[in-house]
Amino acid sequence: MANIKCFIGTVYGGAEALAEQLKPIADKQGHDLSLFNPGTVADFIESDVILVITSTTGQGDIPYELESLYLALESELPTMQNKPFAVIAMGDSSYGDTFCGAGKKFRELLLSLQGSEAVAMLKIDATENYDPAPVALPWFNTFLTALN
């Protein structure tokens, strides 16, 4: 099955906790899900499939640790040659236009690197979903199915 590398951007630990909840689901379905916080460009290039799970901080900003990977990717511009990817964006809709801004930025970068979006980006609103898992689990199963 797929070698999925999950790159995490977290502020208070929510994105990391979600990634840790998704790992056993992927394992059970025969996929290898490795978690990186933040990971390197080399980790990124070596993956078969990329999953980004990120919170949004400030006014649509990428959390500090993941921002370093984002900036390195933006600088080095490694081609993804239709490599499948997916993004889970977490945010607070009360921030208006910057809601899930970190996820939106990562998605746009992955598309510009010629990645192939396996499933549509999942946006999780913290004002409606204190626990992101119930929203993310059905989406994640769809994502895993799309990889087969």
| Separation CA 1–CA 41 (nearest Å) | 23
pLDDT at 83: 94
Give dist(CA 43, CA 16) in Å, integer: 18
The number of helices, as runs of H, and strands, as runs of E, in the chain is 5, 6
Q: What is the pLDDT of residue 82?
A: 85
Query: What's the pLDDT at 72?
Result: 96
Q: What is the pLDDT at residue 119?
A: 97
Which pLDDT value is given to residue 95? 76
pLDDT score of 1: 85
**Cα-based distances in Å from 74 to 29, 40, 67:** 33, 12, 10
Phi and psi at residue 86, to the nearest 5°: -150, 155
DSSP state of 54: E
pLDDT tens string 34-66: 999 989 999 999 999 999 999 998 888 999 999
Q: Which helix (H) or strand (E) holds 73?
A: helix 64-76
Question: What does pTM read for this prediction?
Answer: 0.95
Residue-level pLDDT at 64: 92
Residues of the chain with pLDDT under 50: none
Residue 21 has what pLDDT?
Answer: 97
